[in-house]
Amino acid sequence: MNTTALLAAFLAAAPLAAYAHGTAPAPAHGGLVVEDSAENWVELVVKGDQLTVWVLDEAKAAVPSARLTGKATLLVGGKSQFVTLAPSDANSLKGTLDPAASGKMTAVLSLAVAGKPTQSRFVIQQ
């Protein structure tokens, strides 16, 4: 009986181990860092009406903004906002919220990293 329970526990945890890609890097810009669906690390910072995104590849090296495109969908106070992200600096994307966001928000980033589509989800409390 214990062998069966141990095997069941192992099989239940196996999918989690398959998706674990190490420890998330520390946020370099004071935001939240999550792993996206393509195994990149994405940092999101929301300050006032500005939304900024940085992407690191699997080796935790910065992805140049010339290789990034995307948009963000935010749910703020029960209302959706759609933000187009444009290259800013050498390795970031920026967009503008209308109006500025505060409080709890959920953001879903739909990015293309070197042409490969990815998604990441953030829950932010400001």
Containing domain of residue 106, as a range? 25-125
Average pLDDT over residues 105-124: 96
- The amino acid at residue 88 is S
Q: Say if 103 falls within a structural domain.
A: yes
Average pLDDT over residues 44-57: 95
Which CATH number covers residue 63?
2.60.40.2480
Other beta carbons within 10 angstroms of residue 43's beta carbon come to 23
Q: Say if 15 falls within a structural domain.
A: no
Note the pLDDT of residue 15. 45
Q: Label the pairing between strands 41-47 and 50-56.
A: antiparallel
Q: How many helices (H) and strands (E) does the chain have?
A: 1, 8
Q: Is the pLDDT of residue 109 over 60?
A: yes
pTM above 0.85, yes or no: no
In this structure, the chain runs to a length of 126
